[in-house]
Amino acid sequence: MNHSKIVGGSTAKRVMHCPGSVALVAQMPPQVENKYMADGTALHSAVDLLVNDGDASAYSLLGKSFNGVTLDDDHCEKLKTALALLDEVDPLEQMNFNTEQRVGFGDLLPGVFGSTDLIGRIGNRAIVLDWKFGDGVVVTAEENEQLMFYAAAAMRTPESSWAFEGATEVECVIIQPPAVRRWVTTPERIRTFERDLVKAVKKSALPDAQLAVGDHCRFCPAKPVCPEMTGAVDRAIAVKIDKLDKNLISDYLKNADLLETWITSLRELALSMLESGARLPDYKLVAKRAIRQWTDEDKAKVALFALGLKESEVMETSIQSPAKVEKALKKRKIALPTDIVVAVSSGSTLASADDPRPEVLLLGKQLARLSKLQ
């Protein structure tokens, strides 16, 4: 078991919003692992191995089994993307970290514990990172109860408290391929969360602990017997579905389909206008994330071999990415030459005017405007 029966990282949000759920869940039979849960466990084990190995590539695990799941191309591609996203969090490989660390609250909350995916430290910033490999529900990092639970517990656990000693910032990170989501907060915010968690756990032990319906119910195993949920169902049935205007619902669906295509077309039109040099109030073009590339692959190979790298460290089916080669060089305490790499954005995208990324300058359009002024 990776977390306590009272509350853990994955159940912290539910317990804090619905203390009464603890007693209900305790009455339910153990959950049966489904395919998605098995996949998630397998990918967590695999990525942990890769992060701690450092030299192994995602595709080196192709065909290997974890948790009874044999990794295929789709699994390996997710792992490859996850490692690339980790490079965004720690681009210079400065982070000291522990993985799969059990953390708990000691005497403050006896019996309450969880297992972190990764606890790390870069400079004055402690890092709490969680891998998510599910495709259905997008998980955000901001005010994420699971990550704050891990951070609070890690602060009180001797084996992980080193990451928070003297830290002025705490960064909560969700890596859910194909995206990484990050939120920087303070140790004070984590301590406030801890106080709220303690209150919720104490309330959950009361015989009349409050039940509350919300999005925290999504994965609650006690939904079938929850009075709040069954009451909601009873009220919905009382509406008499057979009396609803079926033609109206059908018309709404047609409008929804039309609106979805209209929104897509609108975004495409706005992007096209901005790329042509037009100005749209409150919107601008920003560059997509730049990915480092070799300026010239042949010259890069020559330069890298001259630095003492082996062929296996430079080549796979073709030359490896700058990020991977940089890792190999770092072990030799050699910096990657800057003259053989360039960061290239994959294009532009639409963003609101208050987006912190700089606006893309369309040089051709700007020059054309200047020429008209002369």
Query: pLDDT tens, 201-224?
Result: 999 999 999 999 888 888 888 887
Q: pLDDT > 70: what percent of the chain?
A: 90
For 13-22, how does the pLDDT look when each residue is reduced to its tens digit (9 = 90+)? 999 999 999 9
Per-residue confidence band for 28, with pLDDT thresholds at 50, 70 and 90: confident
For 315-350, how does the pLDDT look when each residue is reduced to its tens digit (9 = 90+)? 876 788 888 888 888 888 888 888 888 877 667 776
Strands (E), the chain: 65-66, 69-70, 96-104, 113-122, 125-131, 169-176, 179-185, 283-287, 290-294, 341-345, 348-352
pLDDT score recorded for residue 236: 60
pLDDT score recorded for residue 5: 76
pLDDT score recorded for residue 242: 65
Count of other CB atoms within 10 angstroms of residue 352 = 9
Per-residue confidence band for 353, with pLDDT thresholds at 50, 70 and 90: confident
Per-residue confidence band for 43, with pLDDT thresholds at 50, 70 and 90: very high
Per-residue confidence band for 370, with pLDDT thresholds at 50, 70 and 90: very low
Per-residue confidence band for 237, with pLDDT thresholds at 50, 70 and 90: low
What are the structural domains, with CATH classification, of the chain? 12-217 (3.90.320), 247-288+347-373 (no CATH), 290-345 (no CATH)
* Closest listed residue to residue 196, CA positions, set 161, 152, 231: 152
pLDDT score recorded for residue 358: 79
For 139-153, how does the pLDDT look when each residue is reduced to its tens digit (9 = 90+)? 999 999 999 999 999
Per-residue confidence band for 298, with pLDDT thresholds at 50, 70 and 90: confident
Residue 63 identity: G
pLDDT score recorded for residue 173: 97
* Closest listed residue to residue 176, CA positions, set 127, 217, 141: 141
Query: Any bridge partners for residue 176, and if so which?
Result: 179
* Closest listed residue to residue 168, CA positions, set 144, 149, 189: 189
Whether omega for the bond prior to residue 322 falls within 30 degrees of 0, making it cis, is no
Contact between 285 and 358 (Cβ < 8 Å):
no
**Pairing mode, if any, of strands 341-345 and 290-294?**
antiparallel
The full 3-state SS of 301-370, as one line of letters, equals: HHHHHHCCCCHHHHECCCECCHHHHHHHHHHCCCCCCHHHEEEEECCEEEEECCCCCCECCCHHHHHHHH
Of residues 360 and 77, more confidence is placed in: 77
Q: Is the pLDDT of residue 70 over 90?
A: yes
Average pLDDT over residues 277-301: 84
pLDDT score recorded for residue 36: 86
Average pLDDT over residues 225-237: 72
Q: Tally the residues of the chain.
A: 374
